[in-house]
Amino acid sequence: MKRVLGDAVISLGAVLALLLMLVSVDPRVRYQLASVWGGSGSSTSVSRELGEISTVLLAAVQAHGIDNAPLMIFALAATVLVLFMLRT
């Protein structure tokens, strides 16, 4: 059980590191996250804000994925390998 928990924490840390790198590179993602966490004062629901963030994240990933296709193939292969490792 301790090993599974440790692996989950490492995987979550990797996903957060990738998100932080995306935020540091793409100003659209940075703006969306800043508007959510900065307390923009709007009364929109949390689900709508998460939907907007996911839309911007997907658009940023798509734009950077086209520009950096070899790196995206490597990231996809690494993700598949991590999923196979966590399967045990």
pLDDT by residue (tens digit) across 31-54? 777 776 766 555 557 677 777 777
Report the alpha-carbon distance of residue 50 to residue 47 in Å, rounded.
5
Of 77, 63, 54, which Cα lies nearest the Cα of 26? 63
Provide the residue range defining the domain that includes 74.
2-86
Q: How confident is the model at residue 1 (pLDDT cuts 50, 70, 90)?
A: confident
Number of domains, the chain: 1
pLDDT by residue (tens digit) across 54-74? 788 788 777 776 777 787 778
Coil/strand/helix, residue 42 = coil
| Per-position b or e across 70-82, b if 16+ CB within 10 A of its CB | eeeeeeeeeeeee
Q: Find where tokens 């703006």 sit.
A: 31
Vertex 65: Cα angle to 72 and 53 (nearest 5): 110
